[in-house]
Amino acid sequence: MKPSIQQFTICSGKGTVEIGDFCFFGLKEGGGHRGGSIEFQARTNNSIIKIGNKVNTNNNIICIAANYIEIGDNTLIGQNVTIMDHEAHGISPDKRREIGEIGSVIIEKNVWIGNNVIILKNSLIGENTIVASGCVVTGKFPKNVIIGGVPAKIIKTI
C-alpha cells in the first residue's frame, strides 16, 4: 500500500529510500502543517533509508543518510524531528566543506519519538523505547526504556 501523505513529502538524493506498507507522513491537525515538509534524503549513491511498515510521522521531519538509516515497524515520530547518520561537515577547518564522519542509525520496532528530537550518527534505539521530546540521541539504548535529555540518557525502564 502506498503511504498516506498529508504534508508535502519528498524523497531525494542519489541513494535508495524504501518505504513499507501502511505508512502515514504528516498530520493536518499537527503543528506546522502549512508551509512545512518531510524529506527523506539518501544523499550518496550507496545511501539507504529503510522505513518499515506502519510508520507514522507528524510534520516537518528531516532524515538524511550518507550511509544507512533504518526505522522499524510501528514507529511513531513527532514533529520537527531530525535523523542523520553522519556529520554534515568535517571537523578540521580545511575539511568543513566536506562531509564528516559517517555512521548509521537503527531505530527498532515500536519506538515512540517525541517532538523536537535529534538523532545522530551511530545511534541505536531499542524496541519499544520512548524518546522524550527535545532530546539529542547519540549512542546505543536497549529496548523497553524511556530516554531523554541532552545528551539522551535512560530515565526509566518500561
89 is catalytic: yes
Distance, CA of 1 to chain centre: 21
Omega prior to 142 cis, within 30 of 0: no
**Residue 49: exposed, middle, or buried by beta-carbon count in 10 A (0-12, 13-18, 19+)?**
buried
Question: How far lies 142's CA from each of 29, 106, 122, 123, 126, in Å?
Answer: 32, 12, 14, 11, 5
The torsion region of residue 157 among left (phi > 0), alpha (psi -120 to 50) and beta comes to beta
Task: Exactly one of 14, 89, 95, 140 is catalytic; name it.
Answer: 89
Kindly state the cell numbers that stand for 24. Answer: 502515514
Question: Which positions are catalytic?
Answer: 89
